[in-house]
Structure 1
């Protein structure tokens, strides 16, 4: 208990500090998110991944908070996905490459002895899909971090109910690291998670949720998993519903996500993040209650119906057309840094 409190406090402080320290290297190397009105350095993702892995590894090695069977391998796989995301941030890899990497990384971490092979294959698809969906949330200041913190604490509560103390500590550390990075990612953002942080967080959240629900029925587990990750699922469903009829690629970026459409309705950036964070909290509460037996499985419908209604309503909101992927600019990192200094000055 004491280690868990100390670990979360340490992770929060270290992530906030490291996000700030990595801003300068990210600026100089040109590792920036240029989708926003002003370019934002992608220093938060590396900070979240490094701090989470470091603090969790210390607890496991010292025996103060053992991760448990299979969770260490899960964390290593998550670190590999985060490294692939960092490569995507630096070299602008095609979006399907991290998605394929997440699927490959999920294969050895699924507990097939409890899920069975068919269920395990479905779990692999779920982990890869949610990882990609969580990356899609990193399109607005503070959104991915806020939803990640809420989801991590929800899955941690489910893990604690199953007496998976190592998983609960790992998720608490991840939530604290995301909160530390969120200090710099809140609007107006000075740093962002990027593919590194969003893929790492999404993979760890999805894989640990599968661990917690392993052994339960597939139908009930699907409902609980949806409730715990309702905002990410709704965002992915909205993008798919909007792009599929127009035959646009599902994995490319574009201004047609939840936050984009809410902004076009007149909501302020911070209001959008707070609203979607509240939606994530509602889903998490329903998922935790359904998992622990405090509410019947029908509680998930209280999440599914509003989510479906919101998706069907927001898909009608007009958005700018999705532009084709841009080629990497030939502008040097020194020129980018100089332009940012001029703008900030």
Structure 2
């Protein structure tokens, strides 16, 4: 317990310091998020990955918290996913390479001896889905980090209930590192998570959840996994239903549409963080046997209603509650006005 607190505290401060120190190098190297009105350096991903891995390796080296084989394998595979994401941050990488690389990494961490091959292959697909879903969730300040912290605590609670202490400590360290990063990423963001940090976060959380639920009944296991990542699933579903072509970028995610309803950037993040907490709480209670497995259906129904409601919000145009800005005069109108003035 004492080591867990010390490790989490170390990861929090290390991630916060690294995220701040790496801002300037990221700006100079052009590793920035250009989707926003001003370039945001993508220094947070490297900070989160470094802090999480370094604290875990030091604990193993000092024999305070030795890395179990499956945890060590998960950490190496997560590092590979982070490296792939770093390449995507530096230069454009086609989606199929991200999917393929993540699938290979996922195939190396699924415990097939407990899940069986058919269920293991489904688990690989789910890990890829959640990992890329977290990358897509990194579309608003503080959102991916907030959802990541909430999910990490939930999956960590499930791991602790299964006496997987090493995995529980790793997840608490990841949650702390994301919290330190949020000091730079809260609106207005001074640093972004990027593909490096979002792929690492999504991969570690999804793989840890699969490891925790391995060997249990497939139906209830799938329900718990969905509840733990309901916000990610809802965001992907919303984009799939509205975006044509699918791989085109656009302001059509959950947070974008909540902003169209008049919420502030911070307000949208808080709402989605609360939604993530609700789903995670149900997932943890079902895993612990404190709630019937049917409780997951309430999470699914709530997510579906949420998505269908936001489908009615146009992703473009003026936000509700704000009058549209003045129309800019065309060049023809300007020239006509000047002629009138000059007689």
Normalised to the residue count of structure 1, the TM-score between the two structures is 0.90
Counterpart check, 1:265 vs 2:261: yes
Looking at structure 1, the residues matched to 218 and 155 of structure 2 have their Cα atoms a distance apart, in angstroms, of 17
Q: Which runs of 4+ in 1 moved over 3 A?
A: none
1:275 match:
271
Looking at structure 1, the residues matched to 53 and 241 of structure 2 have their Cα atoms a distance apart, in angstroms, of 36
1:88 match:
88
2:331 match:
none
1:44-91 Cα shifts (integer Å, max 9, x gaps): 000001111111111123221123231101100000100110110011
Q: How does 1:162-311 map to 2 (within 5 A)?
A: 162-243=162-243, 246=244, 248-249=245-246, 251-311=247-307
Structure 1 residue 312: deviation in Å? 1.0
1:314 match:
310
1:117-165 Cα shifts (integer Å, max 9, x gaps): 0000000000011000000110000000000000000000000000000
Looking at structure 1, the residues matched to 156 and 134 of structure 2 have their Cα atoms a distance apart, in angstroms, of 18
Q: Judge conservation of contact 1:99–1:131 (CA < 8 Å) in 2.
A: no
Normalised to the residue count of structure 2, the TM-score between the two structures is 0.90
Structure 1 residue 252: deviation in Å? 4.0
Q: Judge conservation of contact 1:154–1:285 (CA < 8 Å) in 2.
A: yes
CA RMSD of aligned residues (A): 1.1
Looking at structure 1, the residues matched to 185 and 36 of structure 2 have their Cα atoms a distance apart, in angstroms, of 12
Structure 1 residue 262: deviation in Å? 0.7
1:235-293 Cα shifts (integer Å, max 9, x gaps): 011111113xx4x12x4432111001111111110000000000000111100000000
Q: Unpaired segments of 5 or more residues in structure 2?
A: 318-343
Looking at structure 1, the residues matched to 166 and 17 of structure 2 have their Cα atoms a distance apart, in angstroms, of 25
Which moved further from structure 2: 203-212 or 293-302?
Answer: 293-302
Q: How does 1:61-80 map to 2 (within 5 A)?
A: 61-80=61-80
2:326 match:
none
Is the alpha carbon distance of 1:82 and 1:4 closer, same or farther for their aligned partners in structure 2, counting shifts above 3 Å? same
1:335 match:
none
Structure 1 residue 316: deviation in Å? 2.2
Q: Unpaired segments of 5 or more residues in structure 1?
A: 322-345
Q: Judge conservation of contact 1:67–1:165 (CA < 8 Å) in 2.
A: no
Q: How does 1:39-78 map to 2 (within 5 A)?
A: 39-78=39-78
Looking at structure 2, the residues matched to 107 and 277 of structure 1 have their Cα atoms a distance apart, in angstroms, of 30
1:122 match:
122
Q: Judge conservation of contact 1:31–1:42 (CA < 8 Å) in 2.
A: yes
Structure 1 residue 100: deviation in Å? 1.7
Looking at structure 2, the residues matched to 24 and 100 of structure 1 have their Cα atoms a distance apart, in angstroms, of 32
SS of the counterpart of 2:37? coil
Q: Judge conservation of contact 1:23–1:42 (CA < 8 Å) in 2.
A: yes
Is the alpha carbon distance of 1:67 and 1:252 closer, same or farther for their aligned partners in structure 2, counting shifts above 3 Å? farther
Looking at structure 2, the residues matched to 319 and 51 of structure 1 have their Cα atoms a distance apart, in angstroms, of 36
